[in-house]
A and B are shown apart, each in its own frame.
Chain A
Amino acid sequence: MGKKTPQINSSSTADIAFLLLCYFLMTTTMDQQLGIERQMPQIPTAEKQKNQKARKRNLLIVRINHKDRVFVQKGEEVFKEVSNNLGELRTMVYDFFLNGSPGYKNSAVLPERKPVEIPGFAKYNGGNTFYNVSSGIISLQYNSVTSYERFIAVQNELVAGVNDVRKKFSEDYFKKDYADLNKAELDIIKAAVPQNISESEPFKAN
């Protein structure tokens, strides 16, 4: 007859687990990484740079100066200050990119539209795979001493404006909310309503 192995008292496992639990509770970081995504352009060759001239009506210039004041220039108009009301940028971007789309006014001083073939779009557009895409470009210019906070605040309004256009597009063609779109529909919307925001090199502070 072998000796009986003594039983290990297991009442303290709960305490040990509690301690571990407390440790992981304290160290865990549940933060999500959030932000504004951007695709930068390649550095253009000298030859390409020469041909890069946008027509005035297709350009919306947003400029943040060295004192974080914000100005907008639409086409041939003069610069207008919107520092105290950045929300105005949002509606301006909305009007800018919607110009000339079906059922919307077509102003001669706002961007023109060009038909672009979008794969997979035909079934939402009555068999027509072409869509008139706005040629508009937003040029975001800033000074080297502009604060990052202001830069992001302006970017946020610009993206919000583009997203408003996308929301409208989504309701018009897909008959659903922009947030509920699947991958294929998102690809279509990205081609039809491009986020043409170009960030130039900063102006040097004097």
Chain B
Amino acid sequence: MSKFRKGDKKEAPGISSGSLSDIVFMLLFFFMVTTQMRESESKVSVSLPKATEITKLERKDLTSFVLIGKPVMALQDQLGKTDRIQLNGELVPIEDLGNQIVNERKALAEKDKPQYRVAIKADHQTKMDMVAQVKWQLRLVTALKIMYQTTRQAD
């Protein structure tokens, strides 16, 4: 009877895997709750410019996203390479943008209307002419709260 038994073949106790499914389920719920499906497919390719002095966009549900950029590769045969504007999954001609924004705003509850905002997601290579035209259309329909969307620049 020695304290140190060598050569004694003892089996390592098996790890109980009964709670494995519980852990996986918890992870699953976390990702199910936090996940946000992309609502619309982009038809224009946008790579955002970088900035440091940025704020977080609040109330995403009260925001319309206006994308400005060149059509994606697959659509360049049909649409060419000039900058296009996209609102909610559809390409919109610049003259129609105002009307569409008005419709978007109409759909909101009355108390939310003052918080309505338009986020401009323009590609960093876009010329300011296009951005200025979009801004002008927004001012015409008094959608005055805007956000230039950017990504965070590492310091």
Contacts and interface: CB of A to CB of B under 8 A. Distances in A.
Interface of A: 10, 13-14, 17-18, 20-21, 24-25, 27-30, 32-43, 142-149, 151-153, 155-156, 159-160, 163, 199, 201-202, 205
Contact of B31 (A21, A38, A163): A21
Nearest to B36: A29
Nearest to B68: A148
B2 to A, nearest CB: 42
Nearest to A24: B31
Interface of B: 17, 20-21, 24-25, 27-28, 31-32, 34-38, 49-57, 60, 63, 119, 122-129, 131-132, 135-136, 138-140, 142, 144-152
Nearest to B123: A148
B37 A38 contact: no
27 contacts: A13-B21, A14-B20, A14-B24, A17-B24, A18-B24, A20-B32, A21-B24, A32-B57, A33-B149, A35-B147, A35-B150, A36-B51, A36-B150, A38-B148, A39-B146, A40-B139, A43-B139, A145-B128, A147-B128, A148-B122, A151-B128, A152-B148, A153-B49, A153-B51, A156-B51, A159-B53, A201-B132
Nearest to B153: A156
A40 B135 contact: yes
Contacts of A34: 54-57, 149-152
Give the top 6 A-B pairs by smallest Cβ distance, nearest first. Answer: A144-B129, A14-B21, A33-B57, A24-B31, A149-B124, A35-B149
Contacts of A27: 35, 37
B126 A148 contact: yes
Contacts, number: 144
B49 A152 contact: yes
Contacts of B145: 37-40
A162 B24 CA distance: 48
Contacts of B38: 29
Q: Does more than half of chain B's interface fall in helix, strand or loop, or is it mixed?
A: mixed
Contacts of B129: 144-145, 202, 205
B128 A143 contact: yes
Contacts of A24: 28, 31-32, 35
Nearest to B38: A29
A145 B127 contact: yes
B57 A148 contact: no
Contact of B53 (A13, A21, A30, A156): A156
- Scoring A10, A25, A35 by chain B CB atoms within 10 A of each residue's CB, the highest score goes to A35
A37 B124 contact: no
Nearest to B31: A24
A21 B30 CA distance: 9
Nearest to B144: A40
Given A20-B28, A156-B53, A40 B124 contact: no
Contacts of A37: 55, 145-147
